[in-house]
Amino acid sequence: MTARGGAGAIVVVAVMFCTAAGPAVATNVEVDLALVLALDSSASVDAEEFALQRGGLAAAFRDREVVEAIAAGPLRRIAVTVMEWAGAVQQVVSVEWVVVADSTGALELADRIDALDRAIPTGATSIAGALIFGNALLRTAPFDATRRVIDLSGDGRNNQGQNVEDVRRLVVAHGVTINGLAILNEHPTLNHYFQDRVIGGPGAFVEIAEDYSAYVGAIRRKLIREIRSLTVSDATPPPESRVQLVAALPPGL
């Protein structure tokens, strides 16, 4: 259900809980890509499946081709943050923003991802809430990024919170590309749902994992494609009278 105010305005509230503080990040750093990696932590994801997501993502940052893709960019560095998501107000920053510029940085990030404990044990599936939260992370990120991308992994359809297509429109209007990794173990046609209702923005695409055991290969392919993309958004934000983002964020983020 979409919450609407007078004159059709959509008011979105994102509440953030930070769990894994990392080293301080320099502000105003220029990067080729600011990337939000959103891991599904809803009730449909059991402990083993979440571990496969976490391990697959860590393995991807240890992959030589991923590191080479980062080094091939004009600025030769990207910024990454990792979040978990479930219900409409269940989102957690698992790894705060970090700049990755070489194999050392990629390996350090991989180790941090591997060490994560699951922060959200259960919950509904609010893709809309995850996109709202990811957009807030990008809008407050201390970077000058050529591209801004939300990379959302999930195994189900939006079933709580805002209308996901409404949220997609406002996120894309802020110059963000939304890519999806559809895990098909429970919904064999989920990739079509992601294609039609979730992804958006310049160069947006859906990667497929047939099940969680295939996640490691899928997230590797997805990261390489996202990092190598040369598409730049020319979208402009919508008028504040029509769409508003209200983010409750901790000081300094």
Q: What's 39-50 look like in SS3?
A: EECCCCCCHHHH
Binning pLDDT at 50, 70 and 90, where does residue 26 land?
low
What pLDDT does 9 receive? 31
Residue 2 vs residues 5, 11, 152, 170, 214: alpha-carbon distances, Å? 10, 9, 21, 13, 34
Q: Are strands 10-15 and 143-154 parallel, antiparallel or unpaired?
A: unpaired
Q: So what's the pLDDT on residue 17?
A: 38
Per-residue pLDDT of 35-62, as tens digits, reads 999 999 999 999 999 999 999 999 999 9
Task: Judge contact between 156 and 193, C-beta under 8 A.
Answer: no
Give the phi and the psi of residue 179 in degrees, each rounded to 5. -110, 155
Distance CA 121, CA 159 (A): 17
State how far the alpha carbon of 72 is from the alpha carbons of 31, 65, 97, 233, in Å.
12, 10, 21, 20
pLDDT recorded at residue 226:
96
Residue 8, both tokens: 């059709």
Q: What integer pLDDT is reported at residue 244 of this predicted model? A: 38
Q: How far is C-alpha 209 from the geometric centre of its chain's CA atoms? A: 17
Fold exhibited by the domain 23-248: Rossmann fold (3.40.50)
pLDDT value at residue 229:
84
* pLDDT reported for residue 6: 31
pLDDT for residue 230: 59
pLDDT digits (tens, 9 = 90+) for 78-127: 999 999 999 999 999 999 999 999 999 999 999 999 999 999 999 999 99
Distance CA 83, CA 253 (A): 14
Digit-coded pLDDT (tens) for 129-178: 999 999 999 999 999 999 999 999 999 999 999 999 999 999 999 999 99
pTM: 0.83
